[in-house]
A and B are shown apart, each in its own frame.
Chain A
């Protein structure tokens, strides 16, 4: 695997720091909102990625999460609700020399923007999508979203929701996603590590961030993410490493028949050799899908880079077609075009 970020994007000639990406705007998220930690992870990781600061670009839709572009000092567009993926597609296709990042919410990307979300992924346009999944509509003050767990009481579901939520990972892989990762807002180290991986990936990278909305869906991820039991209820996947987790590092995932199974090392004759080794780079999404779908209480929730497969990107293919056409096409300028085909002179 290449360890280099995208080579078509110009690298910074000077060492950048966090301060290079801090904007002068007041951050207006609620105190205690998970979004603050995400912002600081971005400011930490961008200098490490190494591109010129002018080559970063943020695009967003509408929602609390979508205020993000105002809070980082890069080029940016705060768009309209649901359309960030389409705006970002236009940005990246028009200028492939930009490192394009997108901030979006669960409603923004999977309700109103569901169509654009699946299509940017299907096309594999090189955009890094940070999906703030707080399982609620934050900005509009607490209506259920496409990821709100079934039965949740919210402002618009006084008796509990009666719809099946999306698992974003499943949706991404169903749309033929080439990169999917999951992180927790409260674990910044993993967040920066994964964002760096996302930046390196050529193609659409989706990073689902389990984000806490302290006001309207507080502790929605708590059963899984709370420090008390996080180690037992989540598993951090790293390429090439066995899928071992738990406070005591004695639990693991193995493949039994066509299903994943949680086992305890040292019990019933299970050894480390029985445990699956994570291959994030394999093309076949079968195991990745199973991993993305793992849910508490039957399984630990998978964190880290679940899938990072190499496929041609749409934006590269556009450039290829254009340079081929420029080299081989007969029409070199608009005057050629106007005079092509049947023309005649009237004197």
Chain B
């Protein structure tokens, strides 16, 4: 075969999406692709798109599994609205994902997979590869199945086993397209299949075949060149939000000297945190898979009383079940981190999709006056930092903290600059001293209003806590009306005082101007990118992205004063904007909301922001 000479296209970012049937190994392909990109020095963000069903029928739309990777030499804030390259292993995956491909995108498809049966199952009435319907794209019809089988025939591998390596053929084609070294992927094969040399050789042969094939393809004659990203020097790794959350909690436990206890019940998309923490018994983490969410949180409250850094992890419906117990933690004034990896609701809702619709629940979802600290992570990588800070605040202020992340942050991955635990802020829980003659269960530190943490086993500190209202200072059960008022006020003031200990809100852009775009939590990427795009056009727009929700940073009102318009964008029907209307009623707020289980796209946001700027 004749090699065609490659034309080089310079790009500062490229979005690639791998899609196929659940059994086609798209998650692994995407992961290997992104690992190689990272080694090539690019910044990146990834997002896996799993089917909701575990074993959906073969070749159906319901069974499509995808993995999107955004790589670039510029700072990558999102996983990308639409892709430049779509690799589709069967008709169903092409059908359901074509809408995510840019016009003119390169479509790489396994033409062997487009047989009558598969076309019918995916709902195509005719073969889209032949009827001209894809003429707006750079269509690459590759006989992937056939060439994969041929590549391993010399190794004596039958067709059925060969088909398991089809994804590596596609990956090989991608390595050509980006002109990347495949060494790290070969290393992976060696490690992963240590005891199966035939599998190692098969995968290597197929990957190489894919690469060779792509080199000869006219349609792939131009390759992308993405130069190295300007990334702060340091040691890096790839990390998903859920793993980052788990590690942030472990770091806080180590730094505070308080052993980690997790009480949790599996629920999508929060389960990975439970799975991850269960692996780390060597760090002393005690992980209790409880019989339900209520036992998850109440066991954590028990552990917290004994002096553990207690955590419970869940998603929306599970948070509902924990409501009463969060009230108990508020009343007993015990530290507790409640992680809610938000998903689409209400009820079982859209378990595999993402939303920001549990904000009201986090802020208000309890009986009685039960304020809690609410913190939200905004990138997969900073889940580490905010999990750490949630634990720090809980312990230093002796109160429950709800950490909001979401399915996109949790499952998505990003480059993560590895910190040193010693460089993280110190955590100093107010632990009571043995035989302290002045110890009283509800005596408070005037700076934080936190009570002390008196650990069972300590001499001279025996005391009881509980859900009944407690007498100020002494902690005995009290039904005195004025005492109740006082304790309600104190618990509220304690949470508000946290504002003295969190950073001031930062702004991207001018400190004053025509428009302030406000967002919070998991939408940072697309909102920031949209704002930066518009700023580059010279328009007066700034961005405030909130991570500390309850309490809000102290300078919030001052920031809001400095703009003519405020536009709050969020993936719900307006929960944060209404919270701002309640806490900062002096300002006028415009809002942009979407509740489709999908993230914002940069293009929809630029449109809305531009419209808002133009409206008089």
Contacts and interface: CB of A to CB of B under 8 A. Distances in A.
A2 interface: no
A344 B236 contact: yes
Nearest to A97: B457
B456 A55 contact: yes
B281 A326 contact: yes
A333 B250 CA distance: 9
Contacts of A329: 281-282
The 7 lowest CB-CB distance pairs between A and B, nearest first, are: A329-B282, A78-B466, A90-B302, A90-B299, A94-B303, A325-B281, A86-B295
Interface stretch (B110-118, B193-201, B305-313): B305-313
Which residue, B38, B284, B305, has most C-beta atoms of chain A within 10 A?
A: B305
Contact of A87 (B237, B292, B298): B298
Contacts of A330: 282
Nearest to B290: A86
Interface of B: 35, 38-39, 41, 231-238, 247, 250-251, 254, 259, 261, 263, 280-284, 286, 288, 290-292, 294-295, 298-308, 310, 324-325, 327-328, 332, 418-421, 456-459, 461-468, 476-477
B250 A321 contact: no
Nearest to A74: B462
A326 B283 CA distance: 7
Q: Is the interface of B mostly helix, strand, loop or mixed?
A: mixed
Contacts, number: 200
A79 B467 contact: yes
A329 B39 CA distance: 28
Nearest to B417: A346
A88 B305 CA distance: 10
B328 A334 contact: no
Interface stretch (A198-206, A279-287, A335-343): A335-343
Given A54-B459, A344-B39, A94 B467 contact: no
A329 B284 CA distance: 11
B280 A343 contact: no
Interface string A41-85: 000000000001111011100100000011001111111100100
B38 A344 contact: yes
A56 B464 CA distance: 12
B235 A75 contact: no
Interface in A68-122: 69-70, 73-80, 83, 86-95, 97-98, 115-116, 119
Nearest to B303: A94
Contact of B288 (A73, A90, A97, A339): A90
Nearest to A324: B281
Given A69-B464, A94-B302, A324-B281, 10 more contacts: A54-B457, A55-B457, A70-B477, A79-B301, A88-B302, A91-B306, A93-B288, A97-B457, A333-B283, A334-B421
Interface residues of A, number: 61
B300 to A, nearest CB: 6
B405 to A, nearest CB: 19
Given A80-B467, A332-B282, A346 B41 contact: yes
A83 B294 CA distance: 8
Which residue, B247, B294, B464, B476, has most C-beta atoms of chain A within 10 A?
A: B464
A215 interface: no
Nearest to B252: A334
A91 B468 CA distance: 20
Given A89-B302, A116-B291, A78 B281 contact: no
Contacts of B286: 93-94, 318, 322
B464 A70 contact: yes
Contacts of B292: 115
Contacts of A342: 35, 237-238
A87 B290 CA distance: 11
A140 interface: no
Contact of B280 (A78, A328, A331, A344): A331
A95 B299 contact: no
Which residue, A322, A338, A339, A341, has most C-beta atoms of chain B within 10 A?
A: A338
Given A75-B464, A90-B298, A338-B247, A333 B305 contact: no
Given A322-B284, A346-B41, A87 B301 contact: yes
Contacts of A346: 41, 231-236
A325 B279 CA distance: 9
A343 B38 CA distance: 10
B261 A94 contact: yes
B378 to A, nearest CB: 20
A69 B283 contact: no
A1 interface: no
A77 B465 contact: yes
Given A78-B464, A90-B302, A54 B458 contact: yes
Interface string A23-38: 1010000000000000
A322 B299 contact: no
